[in-house]
Structure 1
Amino acid sequence: MMKYLQKIGKSLMLPVAVLPAAGILYGIGYWIDPTGWGANNILAAFLIKAASAIIDQIPILFAIGVAVGMAKDHDGTSALSGLVSFLMITTLLSTNAVAMYKGIDPSEVNAAFGKISNAFIGILSGVIGSSCYNRFRDTKLPDWLAFFSGKRCVAIVTACASVVASVILYFVWPIIYGALVLFGKTIMGLGPVGAGIYVMLNRALIPLGLHHALNAVFWFDTAGINDLGLFWSGAEGAVKGVTGQYMTGFFPVMMFGLPAGALAMYHTAKDSKKKTAASLLMAGALASFFTGITEPLEFAFMFIAPGLYLVHAILAGISAIVCAVLPLRLGFNFSAGLVDWVLSFKAPMAVNPLLLIPIGLVFSGIYYVVFRFVILKFDLKTPGRFEDEDEGENDIQLANDDFTAIAKLVFEGLGGKENIKELDYCATRIRTEIIDYTKVDEKTIKKAGIAGVVRPSKTTVQVIVGPKVQFVYDELKKML
């Protein structure tokens, strides 16, 4: 079950990768017309509307992205199936449709059905579409139905499955929606403390890959909060000085805190291993600062020093509380890095974006001092502090972009073609299913200059590569 949920989280990286395009369009549009939000300038209006076309259709993007990501061979047929499922569920369970079933006025229909087109349903539709594709893509039908054999029957099966799912959701969705709304309102009712709890849980769930489910409640319109959408659109429901509180607290952590923590890990590394540690930590720190991608850095110490990672999650929660209390509101379309910070300056709900600099500097000092103290006090084996690490330098650095050579070492370390059962990748990790865990040589893999190796189970190995993971993955696929 956990593995399946992690795979869904990985699949969400595809549609999430589209959001920066919206961020750029929004950012430029608001810079051109910061007061009228497009009303005073045709070009600004054009760009803002173009961005809205992406943000307003996040549920559909999730349905298609998850369907493709969960499909065994990532075939486009699964994308069509995911879309079919989403359209059927949202149409069958729309407010007007439910009113017709019950013979009542639409105003009397449970509010849950007015929110049926949301990120959660998008993900569910993607799961239904991909499941039908994986199960029926090779179906052989009698000659008189041969035209619908194989992949052509997938969308038909998906439609039938979606009808069944709609019947179930007719009874279940109001309960799920009510629980999500209750959870969201409880957190919102706690004000800044609630924002801190959310951000802390967000970081804590990253090792399990389940943070996306939590994000859907607060960032999107799953439970009526829609912090991300309202921040950029300024639509009805947005409140200046409030909207954005579930995103702002990430900026001091990703742009300042984690890079400072990386510096602390570098300074506490053994002198003979500082150069090796620096290559890993610097790459992770730069990714965190510029793009808000924190996995390369977090996975560098998440499993080897879980106590330090817990400290990080708590500090992130504190950052969210502080930012929610202060007159500061920032937002992002991808993550809380430098690029999104600059683009959000003129967003409708932005408040004092330059205030991030002093706050960030304070948190960089806190992160450095706390990380350094905890590492030394408890002798944590962060990068560069292992006794059994190779004394020599890594043979290859990802910065050299020699992906073929990197892949060869990873391939060898995983035990070769005979030992690799399944291969996939997400935002920063190559995920593999292996046959014999004793044939995996972590030292060989680490010689490739990658961030680390994680073994969630005896048959699963995750190689933490970083943002360039796709290129290493492509070379591995060739070798297989």
Structure 2
Amino acid sequence: MQKLLQKLERFSQALLAPLSYLTAAGLLLVVGALLTSGPLRQLCPALNWPPIRLVGEVLYNGMMVLINNLSAILCVGIAALRTRTEKQEAALLSFMAYLIFLTANHTALDALGRLAQPDGLTGLAATGQTTILGIQVMDTRVAGGVLLGFAAAYIFNHSCEKQFKGLITQVYSGLRWAFLCIAAFAAAFGLAVCFVWPPLQQGVHAITRWIAASGDLGIFLYGFLERLLIPTGLHHLIYMPFQFSALGGSVTVGSVTYTGAYTVTMAEYSNGLPLTGNIVWMYTGFTKTFGYLGIAAAFIFTARKERRKQTAAAILPLAVTASLASITEPVDFLFCFVSPVLWVLHAAITGGFMVLLNALHVRAFTSNLLGSLVFNLSAAPGQTSRAALLYLLGLAEIAVYFVVFTVVIRALDLPTPGRTQEPEQTEKEIDPADVRRLIEALGGPDNIRTVDNCFTRLRVTVKDTSLLDTAALLSMPHKGLVQEGQRLQLVCGLQAAQARRLLDEQLEQCATV
């Protein structure tokens, strides 16, 4: 069990580290979303001033490129964190592998005649394919990047030190051999996805047809799967058929027939008609608007007291982004992999509230907080039904998320943000003299195999544990020492990155002497 927990801890660290920058990105994204919000520009005409709009668009689009390419970011970040040596080389090789994966997947789709044609309204979203870095591929969402990142790290660790003796073959030793192995895997992975992913997508299509004919149970499953499948990208195949095809209903206005929940709802709104039950398939925005505020509150409340302010500063911008802009990925990937129980409960609560909205005959807009308010307030009399109840249920959903997540997090001691036992950063700067003492306590520079760090721990692997000066290590100015065989962890707080840089500099100086 202890080994399993250690593996889960390393897995979560590898995922969370690349996502740590999304806190700052989310803050800028909120600013950009507010400055470019159509409803907000109607309320505040000053935001229509071109320079302000330009700043908003730059901020919004500049941050959205990170959200849209999370798969690549996770691939590179995971590979760099999980490799033991030459981390910068591993990061470069993993990005090259990601490009090979994309190209191999696109080439195979093209050769098999499976490249989908984008629709004028929905693009590639309903086809199970997407465009990443300008390359049309199967839509595996972040799952493809995560799998490739871990695979690249594993292959790199087991191939980067391989040496060949032949005059010709020795050219392909070391890092070049690692590249060849990783590139071969990436190409094979890209090819395999062409055959493995379509059956999964076909299964999702079959489920959507069953959902459409299953009443409230179907609505629950619709909301449940739309959230649950986000990490795989298969969620697009759940909601797109309902929002943009006949599965989501149809309405005839004059001589024009509109199909799909989205087009039907907008046609009804534009023509002053009462909103019909087709809008239920648009309620995927309800949890984005309200539920993530409850999730954020639970994460903050369950964080360790000394880390509560830090957690709030990191989580609140992401929750506001979800509520105002319906961009939930920065919060989703904080817990979907490291706390699967919470992820399943999250999907279940989403589906449950969609059923409740339909059962109470709520017919109102739920796209995002600002859009919802503007659309519902500007609707013609009689168009919406029980719009006020929508917001009361929104408050109820916030409370449900807060209570359920708080109870489960504490009962299962889940590693959600702010719950690790790492200390806060201290005011004192790290003394280079302490770093030199640390090197000697570790048995000298020649005894140090690898140096790494996570958010708050300096991680060192040594060659010979008999050379360690345990007394000196314990006397060092750190907050804790953990040793597992040849691997040592020094708890440094948020100064771990600085300690790692100073240690690397000292080791480089020793190597040049």
TM-score when scaled to structure 1?
Answer: 0.54
**Equivalences for residues 292-311 of structure 1 within 5 A:** 292=315
Q: Which of 432, 436, 443 does residue 417 from structure 1 map onto?
A: 443
1:252 Cα deviation from its structure 2 partner: 1.0
Give the aligned partner of residue 10 of structure 1.
13
Q: Which of 86, 111, 132 does residue 100 from structure 1 map onto?
A: 111
Q: Does 1:250 align with 2:274?
A: no
SS of residue in 2 equivalent to 1:399 = coil
Residue 160 and residue 449 in structure 1: after superposition, are their counterparts in 2 closer, same or farther (change >3 A)?
Answer: closer
CA contact (8 A) 2:221 2:351 kept: no
Residue 402 and residue 238 in structure 1: after superposition, are their counterparts in 2 closer, same or farther (change >3 A)?
Answer: farther
Amino acid at match of 1:417: G
Give the aligned partner of residue 499 of structure 2.
472
Give the aligned partner of residue 306 of structure 1.
none
Give the aligned partner of residue 235 of structure 2.
224
Distance 2:289 2:202 in 1: 23
SS of residue in 2 equivalent to 1:249 = helix
Distance 1:316 1:88 in 2: 31
| Structure 2: runs of 5+ lacking an equivalent | 42-46, 118-125, 130-136, 212-216, 238-261, 264-281, 317-338, 355-367, 375-389, 411-418, 508-513
Deviation string, structure 1 residues 283-335 (Cα, Å, up to 9, x no partner): x2332232249xxxxxxxxxxxxxxxxxx9999999998899889xxxxxxxx
Q: Which of 115, 119, 134 does residue 142 from structure 2 map onto?
A: 119
Residue 14 and residue 140 in structure 1: after superposition, are their counterparts in 2 closer, same or farther (change >3 A)?
Answer: farther
Q: Does 1:401 align with 2:424?
A: no
Q: Does 1:71 align with 2:115?
A: no
Q: Which of 269, 275, 285 does residue 240 from structure 1 map onto?
A: 285
Deviation string, structure 1 residues 117-149 (Cα, Å, up to 9, x no partner): 421211222234334444136645755577665
Residue 321 and residue 427 in structure 1: after superposition, are their counterparts in 2 closer, same or farther (change >3 A)?
Answer: farther
Residue 48 and residue 400 in structure 1: after superposition, are their counterparts in 2 closer, same or farther (change >3 A)?
Answer: closer
Distance 2:10 2:402 in 1: 33
Give the aligned partner of residue 202 of structure 1.
none
Deviation string, structure 1 residues 372-408 (Cα, Å, up to 9, x no partner): xxxxxxxxxx99xxxxxxxxxxxx9842233238966
Q: Does 1:62 align with 2:77?
A: no
Give the aligned partner of residue 286 of structure 1.
309
Q: Does 1:427 align with 2:455?
A: yes
Distance 1:443 1:179 in 2: 60
Q: Does 1:159 align with 2:187?
A: no
Distance 1:177 1:407 in 2: 56
Determine which structure has more spread, i.e. the larger CA radius of gyration: 2
Deviation string, structure 1 residues 88-135 (Cα, Å, up to 9, x no partner): 2233334x833633x56858xx96666444212112222343344441
**Equivalences for residues 159-198 of structure 1 within 5 A:** 159-174=183-198, 189=220
Amino acid at match of 1:469: A
SS of residue in 2 equivalent to 1:240 = helix
Give the aligned partner of residue 88 of structure 1.
100
Distance 1:192 1:159 in 2: 38
Give the aligned partner of residue 201 of structure 1.
none
1:86 Cα deviation from its structure 2 partner: 1.8
**Equivalences for residues 308-323 of structure 1 within 5 A:** none
Distance 2:230 2:482 in 1: 29
Distance 1:176 1:320 in 2: 19
Q: Does 1:53 align with 2:65?
A: yes
SS of residue in 1 equivalent to 2:458 = strand
SS of residue in 1 equivalent to 2:286 = coil
1:240 Cα deviation from its structure 2 partner: 2.7
1:51 Cα deviation from its structure 2 partner: 1.6
Amino acid at match of 2:31: I
Aligned length: 369
CA contact (8 A) 1:67 1:129 kept: yes
SS of residue in 2 equivalent to 1:424 = strand
Distance 1:163 1:71 in 2: 21
SS of residue in 2 equivalent to 1:430 = strand
Segment of structure 1 superposing worse, 26-35 or 51-60: 26-35
Distance 2:340 2:7 in 1: 24
Deviation string, structure 1 residues 401-444 (Cα, Å, up to 9, x no partner): 332389669959x973379765422223334557669x897997
Q: Which of 42, 47, 54 does residue 54 from structure 2 map onto?
A: 42
Distance 2:198 2:149 in 1: 20
CA contact (8 A) 1:33 1:44 kept: yes
Distance 1:180 1:321 in 2: 18
Deviation string, structure 1 residues 184-237 (Cα, Å, up to 9, x no partner): x99994799999xx9xxxxxxxxxxxxxxxxxx6664533279xxxxxxxx998
Distance 1:315 1:150 in 2: 42
Amino acid at match of 1:91: T
Distance 2:302 2:472 in 1: 26
- Quote the sequence identity (%): 14
1:29 Cα deviation from its structure 2 partner: 1.3
1:467 Cα deviation from its structure 2 partner: 3.1
Residue 112 and residue 476 in structure 1: after superposition, are their counterparts in 2 closer, same or farther (change >3 A)?
Answer: same
1:34 Cα deviation from its structure 2 partner: 2.5
SS of residue in 1 equivalent to 2:455 = coil
Distance 2:221 2:150 in 1: 34
Give the aligned partner of residue 271 of structure 2.
none
Residue 406 and residue 399 in structure 1: after superposition, are their counterparts in 2 closer, same or farther (change >3 A)?
Answer: farther
1:181 Cα deviation from its structure 2 partner: 10
Segment of structure 1 superposing worse, 20-29 or 136-145: 136-145
Residue 426 and residue 324 in structure 1: after superposition, are their counterparts in 2 closer, same or farther (change >3 A)?
Answer: farther
Deviation string, structure 1 residues 27-46 (Cα, Å, up to 9, x no partner): 11122233269995333222
